[in-house]
Amino acid sequence: MKLMGKDITTAKVMAFVGDRLAARGLFAPAPSDLTPEGVAARVDPLSYNVQALEENADATRGLPLETHRDGLAGRAVVLAKQLFRKAGQVFINEALGRQGVFNGHVRDSYAQLSAEVIKLRQRVAELEQQKVVAAPPVPLPAPVLAKPLPPPPPAPKQPVAAKAPAKAAPVAKKPTRPVPAPPSAPRPPPRNSRRGK
């Protein structure tokens, strides 16, 4: 891992740390403790996903049988699961056959798209390289000396009026007439509540 450039290597850093520890009376780690072979290689997500799809495309193939039980009970549970799987494999194949076909199409499509992405990445890298080689250096503009801006001109003064404007005479309001209510239907005669009269 090189975070600070090519001049700083792992061996130099470890030697520096060892010297500092030795100066303080502590022991430096043995050089055999760190091996570059122990570092896992960078995984390309595209190829990793294609490989994972390839391994898991067949939906009828079962996962490894496991149990959380130990001893004889655990072995009995695993044996029962194996027997159940073998007895039901015909039904599993029938139920998951279409899923296996679909998974195969997904795997093939993903592999094709991954190959296309890799080709496009290579093409972009080539074009960027051509752009860097073909582009002439852009001259930087000469620094401009900053001059202070002149102050803005003063705003023109408004002439002062000699007299305040006269107030407008109040407007007389016209008297309003009450609006008559719309005619309503005649009232029915009152009903007698007593019978017989």
Q: What is the pLDDT of residues 26-44, one digit of tens each?
A: 765 555 555 566 666 777 7
Whether the per-residue pLDDT at 91 is higher than 70: the answer is yes
pLDDT band at 127 (very low <50, low <70, confident <90, very high): very high
The DSSP annotation for the chain comes to --SS-SS--HHHHHHHHHHHHHHTTPPPPPGGG--GGGSPPPPPHHHHHHHHHHHT--TTSPPPP--S--HHHHHHHHHHHHHHHHHHHHHHHHHHHHHHHHHHHHHHHHHHHHHHHHHHHHHHHHHHHHHHHHSPPPPPPPPPPPPPPPPPPPPPPPPPPSSPPPPPPPPPPPPPPPPPPPP-PPPPPPPPSSS--
Does residue 193 have a pLDDT over 70? no
Of residues 29 and 69, the one with the higher pLDDT is 69
Assessment of whether the complete model's pTM goes beyond 0.95 = no
